[in-house]
């Protein structure tokens, strides 16, 4: 009691929350031994990651840029795989709501950069390879997870070899 304010209750779509609570991803989260929520992180990434210039290494050298954020949630499954969940409330058209592939085509390009940074941060935090981490977008309006591919993540930021 008291966790959600009256104002928040008025804007929360209870149907979307109930759909999440019935989802497979929530079942897997509940089964995890440990779940991290609202996990803050900081990464120092090469400045060259933020440039599309071909001569970026010669321009930026070893310069670093601080990237910080908050990861909505992640957990480790029994097989050692890590799942990152980034909850999204992006508005989706009727066509996107009726066709998850259309929704994915909208959401993945929009959020892959963020997920790539989250994956790098979790890799460092848990000392596990990035390949063992599956980042996903949980679209509340869609009521389903959307999974960017490895190629989507690399296209967003390149290879974050930390």
Tell me how far apart the terminal alpha carbons of the chain are, to the nearest angstrom: 42
Domain harbouring 29, CATH code:
3.90.320.10
Q: Is residue 110 part of a domain?
A: yes
Q: Is residue 45 part of a domain?
A: no
- Secondary structure of residue 22 in the 3-state scheme: coil
- Considering its fold, how many domains does the chain have in total? 1
Q: What are phi and psi of 21, to 5 degrees?
A: -65, -15
In tens, the pLDDT along 96-136 reads 999 999 999 999 999 999 999 999 999 999 999 999 999 99
Q: Is residue 83 part of a domain?
A: yes
In tens, the pLDDT along 40-97 reads 999 888 777 776 667 767 777 788 889 899 999 999 999 999 999 999 999 999 999 9
The C-alpha R_g of the chain, in whole angstroms, comes to 17
Question: Is the pTM above the cut of 0.95?
Answer: no
Q: Is residue 63 part of a domain?
A: no
Q: Is residue 47 part of a domain?
A: no
Buried b (16+ CB within 10 A) or exposed e, 6-15: eeeeeeeeee
Nearest to 120 by CA among 64, 82, 90, 149: 82
Q: Is residue 17 part of a domain?
A: yes
Structural domain of 145: 6-36+70-157
107 by Cβ neighbours in 10 Å (0-12 / 13-18 / 19+) ranks as buried
Q: Is residue 103 part of a domain?
A: yes
CB 152 within 8 A of CB 145: no
Q: Is residue 11 part of a domain?
A: yes
Ramachandran category for residue 161: left, alpha or beta (phi over 0 → left; psi -120 to 50 → alpha): beta
| pLDDT attached to residue 159 | 65
């Amino acid at each position: 009691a008291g966790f959600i304010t009256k104002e928040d209750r008025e804007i929360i779509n209870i149907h979307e929350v109930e759909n999440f609570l019935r989802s497979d991803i929530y079942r897997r989260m509940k089964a995890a031994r440990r779940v991290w929520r609202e996990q803050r992180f900081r990464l120092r990434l090469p400045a060259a990651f933020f440039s599309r210039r071909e001569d970026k290494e010669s321009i930026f050298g070893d310069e670093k840029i601080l990237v910080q954020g908050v990861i909505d949630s992640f957990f480790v499954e029994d097989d050692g795989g890590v799942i990152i969940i980034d909850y999204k409330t992006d508005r989706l058209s009727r066509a996107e709501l009726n066709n998850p592939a259309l929704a994915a085509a909208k959401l993945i390009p929009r959020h892959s950069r963020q997920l790539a940074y989250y994956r790098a941060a979790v890799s460092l935090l848990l000392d596990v390879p990035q390949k063992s981490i599956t980042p996903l977008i949980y679209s509340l309006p869609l009521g389903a997870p959307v999974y960017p591919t490895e190629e989507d993540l690399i296209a967003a930021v390149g290879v974050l070899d930390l």
